[in-house]
Structure 1
């Protein structure tokens, strides 16, 4: 298959590209700069120059490939307006869907599991419960899944909030490490028993490939290797690696300590991927979160 990947140079996207190429697929990658274009060309990827705002260009490239994976996002460093980011992504996926409509070709969109059902186990078949946490991304997921009714083999691949592995420079783990270095302690909120699902980025990349190859239209997949890692265990692993105290802080202190991460660090977000594993034979094989933190690559300056 010749697959277009939006977000091909990103942390997850670059792993998807390598997974696809290793499996014998051809890849076309979206690049908005000369640097990104050169990086894609160097690994054998055909370059499509443009941006998520170039809707006509997105629609055109979708019409000439065999499938699309949308792993792009407008990072918070580009705009802090979450509504604007969500609108840009929604317009982009709708343009891509327009190029695929009526073809039966696959379209895999990246979504997430965080905050959907706080305190309750989330499965692939749990009904959506509107709340503020996942709200900005829900229209994107719903739009792509609805394309199943328009002749697109669409699916939503929901990533665990902690996608870890080498090269993670802006994810939750690297951000928590930065906070610990700055404050001199590795902290958790309350008793720290709240659970964060996790997945190694290479295991996630494998699931993206499986989805584009054979996920039925309208499918939700969970890229979750660990159903829930207690937050205090994450803080403990970071503290050990940095030789810093591991401390409990109160909900009131969390805002000052964790800044913009404060609403997330006390979330209890257990998530199952049992149905995904059964349906697609997905078996994560790379290091689990705590083992990955303890390998030390996150702490190389």
Structure 2
């Protein structure tokens, strides 16, 4: 099957290109410049230029695709403004609209949409799954909208749809993971007091990509939560990463201090529990994570950093 990937140069998309091509599937990756072209080619795919906000370019680039995947995001990094978040909102809403039209135009068999597990996190912090009701808030509304557009597309067009709600990403090349590791080494990482008991479901990006591959090869429609086997608090995640790096223990700060430093949106993400399960995709698709716990995944992260010399003190 020929696979078209929007977001092919991102932290998830790069792995999608590699994993699909490794399994013998031709891949076309949407790119915007020469660096993107090189990234796709290096991983065995074929680049085609286009822009998610230019519907015609996406339709043209995806011609011939059997599977269309929306793996594009524009998550802002340092001290983001409301305008920075709006770009990611557009990627979710306008990008999804463009890609479902592209899938229909290409005569694709399947459309896969990346989403986020915390659209259904429960207000009381208890366990939830794919059957739990959605809990809209400003940070999740655009992902909820993208899911709705995807569901509508299955009604309007003759292709299967899959929505893969991923837990919090981490990986050696993920921006926030690298920043986290460097801050720990420099003694500048903090732990928010309210995060100590807030267990959150995470997923190594390698395993997130393998879930997309498994769903595409199964040719199924459905909604699945893509997380590892063991939710972990942000505090314990930091402590484990620090231990592997040989870093000093991070300082603890109050929620009030954290809200002043990094804003309400980020503090809420780390201090509100988000425990969910991968049981549904295990039973229906047969997918299993290579890194079943954050401890397994963080060992790979630190080994990669040391091998590449990514963080100076981690050599």
State the TM-score, normalizing by the size of structure 1: 0.88
Query: Compared with structure 1, are the counterparts of its residues 63 and 237 closer, same or farther at alpha carbon in structure 2 (3 Å cutoff)?
Result: same
Query: Compared with structure 1, are the counterparts of its residues 120 and 50 closer, same or farther at alpha carbon in structure 2 (3 Å cutoff)?
Result: same
Is the 1:116–1:128 Cα contact (8 Å) retained in structure 2? Answer: yes
Match runs of 1:146-185 below 5 Å: 146-150=152-156, 151-161=158-168, 163-168=169-174, 170-171=175-176, 173-180=177-184, 184-185=188-189
Match runs of 1:138-217 below 5 Å: 138-150=144-156, 151-161=158-168, 163-168=169-174, 170-171=175-176, 173-180=177-184, 184-190=188-194, 192-217=196-221
Query: Compared with structure 1, are the counterparts of its residues 33 and 108 closer, same or farther at alpha carbon in structure 2 (3 Å cutoff)?
Result: same
Q: Deviations over 1:4-42 (max 9, x none)?
A: 011111111111111101111000001101111122223
Equivalent pairs counted in the alignment come to 297
Partner of 1:40: 40
Gaps of 5+ in 2: none
> In the aligned structure 1, how far is the partner of 2:4 from the partner of 2:18?
13
Is the 2:114–2:163 Cα contact (8 Å) retained in structure 1? Answer: yes
Query: Compared with structure 1, are the counterparts of its residues 56 and 236 closer, same or farther at alpha carbon in structure 2 (3 Å cutoff)?
Result: same
Matched, 1:279 2:290: no
SS at 1:226 equivalent: coil
Match runs of 1:107-146 below 5 Å: 107-114=111-118, 116-118=120-122, 119-146=125-152
Query: Compared with structure 1, are the counterparts of its residues 87 and 243 closer, same or farther at alpha carbon in structure 2 (3 Å cutoff)?
Result: closer
Query: Compared with structure 1, are the counterparts of its residues 3 and 253 closer, same or farther at alpha carbon in structure 2 (3 Å cutoff)?
Result: same
Query: Compared with structure 1, are the counterparts of its residues 293 and 104 closer, same or farther at alpha carbon in structure 2 (3 Å cutoff)?
Result: closer
Q: Deviations over 1:46-68 (max 9, x none)?
A: 11111212210112333421111
Deviation at 1:212, TM superposition (A): 1.8
Deviation at 1:216, TM superposition (A): 2.8
Query: Compared with structure 1, are the counterparts of its residues 32 and 246 closer, same or farther at alpha carbon in structure 2 (3 Å cutoff)?
Result: same
Deviation at 1:122, TM superposition (A): 2.2
> In the aligned structure 2, how far is the partner of 1:80 from the partner of 1:182?
29
Query: Compared with structure 1, are the counterparts of its residues 178 and 134 closer, same or farther at alpha carbon in structure 2 (3 Å cutoff)?
Result: farther
SS at 1:114 equivalent: helix
SS at 1:9 equivalent: coil
Q: Deviations over 1:100-158 (max 9, x none)?
A: 33846111011111353240222122221222331122111211122111222111111
> In the aligned structure 2, how far is the partner of 1:29 from the partner of 1:232?
37
Q: 1:226 aligns with which of 209, 213, 229?
A: 229
Is the 1:7–1:73 Cα contact (8 Å) retained in structure 2? Answer: yes
Query: Compared with structure 1, are the counterparts of its residues 210 and 292 closer, same or farther at alpha carbon in structure 2 (3 Å cutoff)?
Result: closer
Q: Deviations over 1:204-249 (max 9, x none)?
A: 11110112222533x1111101341122211212333353233433
> In the aligned structure 2, how far is the partner of 1:188 from the partner of 1:88?
30
> In the aligned structure 2, how far is the partner of 1:145 from the partner of 1:282?
23
Deviation at 1:287, TM superposition (A): 6.1
